Structure formats: structure tokens, C-alpha cells
Amino acid sequence: MNTTDYDRIEAAIRYLARHRKRQPELAELAAHIGLSQSHLHRLFSRWAGVTPKRFLEFLTVQHAKKLLDSSEPVLAAAHGSGLSGPGRLHDHFVTVEAVTPGEYRSRGAGLTIHFGTGESPFGPVFVAWTERGVCRVGFVADGDVATEKEALHRAWGRASLERDESRATTLARSIFSAPFEAESRPLTVHVRGTNFQLAVWRALLRVPPGQVVTYGRVAEEVCSAKAARATGSAVGRNPIAFLIPCHRVIRAGGIAGNYAGGVTRKRCMLAWEASRQSIGGTEMGQAGGVP
């Protein structure tokens, strides 16, 4: 991409950020940059991976999140973000974050999350779940659940956490047997993330056990092969190890790449899966906001 194109996109992003509260239309942005609307739309989409409208929605939601985090009411957050009312803010949040403003602000208030540790073929595992499904799975060393519990609290800050080791042991056993037992019940998951993250995680669920796919291939399935870096970030933010199989994603050329549980564990998981003959499945339940 040449410097002129970069300068134009940089100017467009600065303009959108500076005038976010006015919610400028594409025609206004194009006039400022000195391009036709269609040319700017194509150029911006190719360079940024999203349309100018979607980028403005992202800026708007990020500002609204700051207001909501400061305990502003939804109506005030909508007006403070340059929107006409809660309805438009709701649409923006659902588009960008896959949750409503109220769900974002609640941070899991009124929700009970059970957690505990169990055993897996790859060492001790931390498991957390709500009545809607599994919301976190992570490998732990020496039974130390502090890191995983802290991550759970960051994601669902106002939820009530209750320890249940017995159920966690049973659930862990189900998680690591489900893909290979033909008669096992599919497990559902309860996750929060942006629409892009959810799309990436759904794509991972379609990769069969024991097989691998590159970041670029996942990106191409979700939106565009050019979004491989963003796809890698979404893979890295997967809160549910193994069930949402981020261990099946590798770099181009067959390089294993990073894995939160360690590259050696990732290789062991792939070999373990490949050695199994019968394959069941896991399905994603309602993925989105806190009830």
C-alpha cells in the first residue's frame, strides 16, 4: 500500500475520532478526504478491514463503555456518545460487542458462576460454568487456581462465585471425553466477546479433532485473509481451552505457534486427538451477554 493511501486513511480515522460525537456520514468524510464515497469506502475497507461506518460504531461503543464504567445511566451514555437515544446505543453495542448496554454494565450482576478444578489428560484444569454453559476452562499448575479465578473475575466482575469441586471433577471428565464418545451429550458454552471474536470461535468449533488450520485460513472463513493478525488476537482471547479448540490453529508452514497452556501441551493435545478413532462434537450455545 502506498504512502498516499495510508495518509488518506490516517486522515479519515483522525476525522472520525475528532467528530465522533456528531456521527458524520460517509459523504461528509469523503468530502473531507477529497475522494468519492465509493472510492473511500473501498479504500478504507481494504486498509482497515472494516467499513468507515463500522469503525465509527467501534469508536462510539468504546466511548460509551467508558461512560457506563463510570456509572452513567444508559440514556446519558447514549447522548454522551452522540446518539439519539438508548435504542441506537443498543444497536451499536449488539453490533460491536454482542451484548446490550445493560448487559455490559451489569458485569454479571445476579449471575452465579460455579468453579473448581478437575483432571484432564494434560494436567489439572480449571473449570467454571453458569446455568447456560461452560464459561471458562484453563490449565493450571500445581492446583494453583488464582490466575484463572482472577481472569474469571475480570470477565464477570459482579457475578457471585461459588466453588464446587465435585461438579468440576465431573464436568472436566465430560469436557475431555465429549469429542470422542459418540453417545455423549454435546456441551454448551456461555461466552462473551465481540462479534468478530464470536465468529472466530465458531469457526474453531468447525475444525475436527486432530486436525489443524492456519490463522490465515480461519481469517478467510470469518471475513478476509488479511485479518490474520486480528484473528490471532481473537484466538488468544478464547476463555475456554479445548472446548473452543484454539490449540488446532497453527502458523503457516506448520509452526505450532503460541498457546496459553504451553506449546508442548498444544502438541500433545493434537497428537492425543489424532489417535482417537470416533469423533463426537461440541456445540456453541447462546454466546453473548450476561443474562
- Alpha-carbon torsion, ordered 241, 246, 250, 256, to 10 deg: 0
Domains and CATH numbers, the chain: 3-106 (1.10.10.60), 112-180 (3.30.160), 195-274 (1.10.10.10)
Kindly indicate the confidence band of residue 178, based on its pLDDT and cuts at 50, 70 and 90.
Answer: low
Distance between CA 28 and CA 34 in Å, rounded? Answer: 10
For range 79-92, the mean pLDDT:
78
Q: pLDDT digits over 225-267, tens only?
A: 677 888 888 898 899 999 899 999 988 766 677 787 788 888 8
* Among 135, 223, 246, 268, the one annotated catalytic: 246
Cβ proximity of 195 and 223 under 8 Å: no
C-alpha span between 275 and 288 (Å, rounded):
34
Cβ–Cβ contacts within 10 Å for residue 29, how many?
Answer: 22
Whether residue 246 lies in the annotated active site: yes
Q: How far is CA 146 from the centre of its chain?
A: 22
Cα(148)–Cα(170) distance, integer angstroms = 19
Element (H, E) at 123: strand 123-130
Res 1: pLDDT: 45
If you write DSSP's letter for every residue of 93-112 in order, what string do you get? HHHHHSS-HHHHHHTTTT-E
Torsion region of 210: left, alpha or beta (phi above 0 gives left; psi -120 to 50 gives alpha): left
Distances (CA, A) of 42 to 45, 143, 190: 5, 51, 36
> Among 92, 4, 86, which Cα is nearest to 43's?
4
pLDDT at residue 99 in the model: 61
pLDDT at 268 over 70: yes
Cα of 186 vs its chain's centroid, Å: 21
pLDDT at residue 84, rounded to an integer? 77
pLDDT exceeding 70 applies to what percent of the chain? 82
- Cell numbers standing for residue 269: 493435545
Winning range, highest mean pLDDT, from 1-5, 16-20, 83-87, 186-190:
16-20
pLDDT-derived band at 31, boundaries 50, 70, 90? very high
Structure confidence at residue 7 as a pLDDT band (50, 70, 90): confident
